[in-house]
């Protein structure tokens, strides 16, 4: 009587791997505290520990925007390919 939509398994594509790397990179960078737990080099008087983290705020924003754009393009490509 009622037709259930066909559930497709998730597909791993190179674009989706790039998306995952964009979203995981900030976590790895911030969780590896030993790599930035130091004072030198200072930047305009700010210890490395602080300016490194603030730099990652900007990098994370750019990576998240990139991941979002790639996801949108991937979704449009998948919807366009369904009708074919």
The tally of domains found in the chain comes to 1
Q: Is residue 21 part of a domain?
A: yes
Task: Please give the pLDDT value at position 71.
Answer: 93
Question: Which stretches of the chain score pLDDT less than 50?
Answer: none
**For the whole model, what pTM was predicted?**
0.78
- Interhelix angle 48-82/14-31, rounded to 10 degrees, is 160
C-alpha dist (Å) from residue 59 to 3, 15, 47: 46, 19, 19
Q: Is residue 1 part of a domain?
A: no
Task: Please give the pLDDT value at position 53.
Answer: 93
Whole domain around residue 28: which residue ranges? 15-61
Q: Is residue 54 part of a domain?
A: yes
The answer to whether the Cα torsion of 5, 7, 13, 18 is positive or negative is: positive
Task: Please give the pLDDT value at position 12.
Answer: 83
Task: Please give the pLDDT value at position 41.
Answer: 92
Task: Please give the pLDDT value at position 81.
Answer: 67
Tell me how far apart the alpha carbons of residues 79 and 47 are, in angstroms, rounded to a whole number: 48
Q: Is residue 7 part of a domain?
A: no
Query: Helix, strand, or coil here: 69?
Result: helix
Task: Please give the pLDDT value at position 61.
Answer: 97
Q: Is residue 78 part of a domain?
A: no
């Amino acid at each position: 009587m009622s037709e259930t939509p066909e559930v497709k398994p998730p597909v791993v594509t190179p674009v989706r791997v790039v998306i995952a790397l964009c979203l995981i990179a900030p976590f790895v960078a911030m969780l590896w505290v030993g790599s930035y737990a130091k004072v030198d080099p200072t930047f305009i008087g700010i210890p490395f520990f602080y300016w490194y983290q603030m730099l990652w705020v900007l990098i994370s924003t750019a990576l998240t925007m990139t991941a979002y754009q790639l996801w949108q393009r991937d979704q449009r490509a998948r919807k366009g390919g369904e009708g074919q």
